[in-house]
Structure 1
Amino acid sequence: MARFQHTVTLAPVPRRWLESCVAALHDLAEGTDAGGAGLRLSDGRPLPGLVLAQGRHLRPGAQYRPVNGKDGEADADQSVTVLAWDRHRETALEVVTLDDDPAHRGQLVCVLRLTSAARPRQASLSTTLGPSGGKRAKYLGGSGQLHLDLDRWWSRAASHRPAPSRAPLSGTLTHTLARVTVTVVPRRAPDGRWQVTVKARARGRSFARPLVPVATAVLGRRARRAFAEALDRAAAAWNAQVPALVRKEGEQLGAELADALLGP
């Protein structure tokens, strides 16, 4: 088994700001009119590039598809389906993308869940890549799970000491030949920012089980350096963009998102 650990320092995000953003996104979606020929924002402006393909707007089973720019028809290879839409309970969306390339046909399914929009407490993301056809199909697919406990995150982020309890953010990536588990734990830095420690463990599966220790012995130092450098780059991008975002109110971000959806 290979183990990796690295700590980065991030600009903090106020919980109230996140909650206002979630509310603004729900307001934007619920204010959209799906009647007539297509979707329209609350101010009447048409929303190009997306149509309600089946079901009732924002009801479980409602399915949305992007519009093909060539012929104006709905794209059969991509869809967003509403699994749940209740501000006080759960919001859940399923995004499906099909790849019809003869060389590697497959389907990517992502499910995003939030409990609840009124006061976000839990968020999760699950992904499944399922190739089809060919003897090696099982080696090209995999699945991933990511879970964030928002109550635990802000509680840990306010503390200066690491706690022994369960990590607020955790995930797994499973492949036929390997399984990777990741935990992310924040704590308060002396200057008020977040010191976030990321730990990852990789374990081989099937006939690849004995190969992971060998690869770790040979490439361990290089792999750990690459792991740390990737996290440092992500932290730099976060710190360059997030402080400006958190100075904006949720309604302002919602308006900017609406403008972005309209395109040039």
Structure 2
Amino acid sequence: MTVVNEGAGAADTAPGRDATREPEPPSGSAPGTAGAMVLAVSGWRLLIAAFGLIGWGDAAARLGFLSSLEDLSHLASFTVGLVFLWLAVRPFTRPDRAPEPPSAWVRGAATVALLLVAVVWHTLMGGWEDGYTTTSSLFAHLLTPAVVLADWLLVGRAQGRARWWYPLSWTLPLLAYLGFMVGAGVESYHDFLNPNEEGFLATVAAFTVAVVVTGYVLVALGRLRAALPGGGPAPAADGVPAPGAAPEPVPVTPPPAGGAAAPTDAPPDPSPVSYTPLGLPPKLQM
């Protein structure tokens, strides 16, 4: 005769109870880590926004608001300032505290544009020889491109899922600026990009190819980072909890009253089954 433990500790000592109990995560550790990560990423992107706005602001103070937006370098810095300010504030406007959008298209477009600005200014526009004579030249052509590139390579996560067509589409904002430059008569780049001279279309084609190639290099580096330990995977969609957040607790079914084992834990019925001369159980005989 089996004696069933019906004492106060029966629920804890029932067979199989300890084996099926889900471990409880440490209280407050994972959510605190996730919150600190969101704060760190937002602080970093506030710094990027400040760099972009400082570079543009110095030019605006000297040239005026509208005139400062005629050059691609200052326009790109102004755009980066607004974009990364939005990226820094965005997590605190959402209940899931997602640190970034599911798509990295905007960040990639900003990175390509800033790299183009930096390379062209340092090479074709004589930046290496002239040096950083103003605050805007230092921030717009060196510091802001550097931190935007670092954000793509080291901080962001969604670039691990960048689509194959992203680099092709990243040329569109730059081609739109080219149309504005020609239509408005901006002469800042006429030394090497003059629509009134022969070879203009060939130069535009060369710049376009360079931007596309740079874009695919960025996509490859983003996917490589996602494949490294600690670099991914990136969130699959917007609304995914911040990385490091504690998983939702799994409900545990309590044992039956009295501490008896659940029906699934009961041993099989050992009683033998009788067979008829035809080899079938009695209930299956016709």
Identify whether the pair has TM-score above 0.5, normalized to the shorter chain. no
Q: Could you state the TM-score of these two structures normalised by the residue count of structure 1? A: 0.28
**Structure showing the higher strand proportion among its residues:** 1
* Larger RCO, structures 1/2 (Cα 8 Å, 6+ apart): 2
Normalised to the residue count of structure 2, the TM-score between the two structures is 0.26
- Which structure has the greater CA radius of gyration? 2
